[in-house]
């Protein structure tokens, strides 16, 4: 496949949009209901750290699809993690 750089970047933006927007319903439901009983602190901690590292990586290689998607996903994941840690049911 012989794609031009701008075509490759469009694929990156589409992937970034889809993976980030897929995370939004979980965040909205968590904020709205405050029911985080099904959320694992360990999993969300690892996930948030991983997304943070993807963000740093994107910044280092200056790739905007990675930067934008991971900045937004990191903010959403971190907000859910903080909400979970503030509740009494984190096990």
| pLDDT, tens digit (0-9, with 9 covering 90-100), for 8-18 | 889 989 998 99
- Residue 88: is its pLDDT beyond 80? no
Which domains does the chain show, CATH number per domain?
A: 5-86 (1.20.1280.290)
> From the CB of residue 70, how many other CB atoms can be counted at a distance below 10 Å?
25
Q: What is the 3-state secondary structure (H, E, C) of the chain?
A: CCCCHHHHHHHHHHHHHHHHHHHHHHHHHHHHHCCCCCCCHHHHHHHHHHHHHHHHHHHHHCCHHHHHHHHHHHHHHHHHHHHHHHCCCCC
Distance CA(67)–CA(55), nearest Å, equals 5
| pLDDT, tens digit (0-9, with 9 covering 90-100), for 39-75 | 899 999 999 999 999 999 999 999 999 999 999 999 9
- Residue 91: is its pLDDT beyond 70? no
Q: Do residues 16 and 69 make contact, with C-beta atoms less than 8 angstroms apart?
A: yes
């Amino acid at each position: 496949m012989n794609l031009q750089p701008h075509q490759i970047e469009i694929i990156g933006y589409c992937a970034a949009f889809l993976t980030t927007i897929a995370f939004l319903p979980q965040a909205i439901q968590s904020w709205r209901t405050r029911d985080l009983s099904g959320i694992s602190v360990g999993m969300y901690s690892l996930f948030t750290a991983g997304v943070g590292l993807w963000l740093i990586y994107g910044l280092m290689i200056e790739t905007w699809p990675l930067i934008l998607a991971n900045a937004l996903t990191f903010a959403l994941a971190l907000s859910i993690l903080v909400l979970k840690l503030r509740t009494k049911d984190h096990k």
